[in-house]
Amino acid sequence: MSTAQLNLLDIFKQVSKTIKTNQDSLNEADEYNHDHGDHMVEIFEVITTAMKEKKSADPAAQLEYAAQLLRQKSSSGSAKVYAKGLTEASKEISGKSVDMSTILPLLQTLMSGGETKTSSQTQSGAGLGDLLGSLLGGSTASTSAASNDQGLDLGDLLGAGLSYMQSKQSGSSDIEAITKALVNSTQSGEKTYRSQSSELVANTVLQMLSGLASK
């Protein structure tokens, strides 16, 4: 797996663009206030602005500054989740670089608001273990069992899934499967419209990583 460092500004700019493109559909999916798309556009505009202002800082500082700025700029429920997720992601990446091995666990933390949902993560981890077993042509049961025996968490499995996807330059079906596993591990999966926006975020990042891997 490549250890090349990834640029958070580039990533969030692309996510922001995707969210803007889907703003109306996200608003429509929000059956309560019909403004989830508006909030998500605002959230990623603020995050992107923070990345630009702190582009010379290390990733941990960039993420924490984005959290602070988001708390100042928006008070929506989604903004609170992402602000908390940014803070927790900052702690996780402290002293590390953002690369192919750290980006997906980081994304998981960001979208979940830093909440650790053990049962959900275990289930999703096992599900991705099954996926990897199928992709690799091995026993799905042994793959899932190995993940438990070796103490692998969902981040490890996501990393393994991405590594496989890169090495085989697989099609959209693999990206979709990893996206689902990633989103299902976060609290955003509890509401349809939040799940929809999270899938857009995750899928955009995975498509970018797949594109980088094919270069």
Residue at 122 is within a domain: yes
User: What is the tens place of the pLDDT at every residue in 155-165?
Assistant: 555 555 665 55
What is the C-alpha to C-alpha distance for residues 49 and 111, in angstroms, rounded to an integer? 19
The residue that leads in pLDDT, 41 or 190, is 41
pLDDT confidence band for 180 (50 / 70 / 90): confident
What is the C-alpha to C-alpha distance for residues 119 and 64, in angstroms, rounded to an integer? 28
Residue at 1 is within a domain: no
User: What is the tens place of the pLDDT at every residue in 48-93?
Assistant: 999 999 999 999 999 999 999 999 999 999 999 999 999 999 999 9
Q: Which domain holds residue 19?
A: 8-213
Residue at 142 is within a domain: yes
Residue at 2 is within a domain: no
What is the C-alpha to C-alpha distance for residues 146 and 72, in angstroms, rounded to an integer? 44
pLDDT confidence band for 185 (50 / 70 / 90): confident
Cβ partners under 8 Å of residue 213, min gap 6: 2, 100, 165, 166, 169
Q: Number of structural domains, the chain?
A: 1
- N-term to C-term CA, the chain: 14
Instruction: Please give the pLDDT value at position 6.
Output: 93
CATH, residue 144: 1.25.40
What is the C-alpha to C-alpha distance for residues 199 and 182, in angstroms, rounded to an integer? 8
What's the pTM? 0.77
Residue at 3 is within a domain: no
Mean pLDDT of 96-103: 88
To the nearest whole percent, how much of the chain has pLDDT over 70?
A: 68
Residue at 165 is within a domain: yes
DSSP state of 102: T
Instruction: Please give the pLDDT value at position 150.
Output: 39
Among the residue ranges 91-95, 170-174, 182-186, 200-204, the one predicted with the least confidence is 170-174
Instruction: Please give the pLDDT value at position 155.
Output: 58
Residue at 144 is within a domain: yes
Asked if residue 37 has pLDDT above 70, the reply is yes
Residue at 89 is within a domain: yes
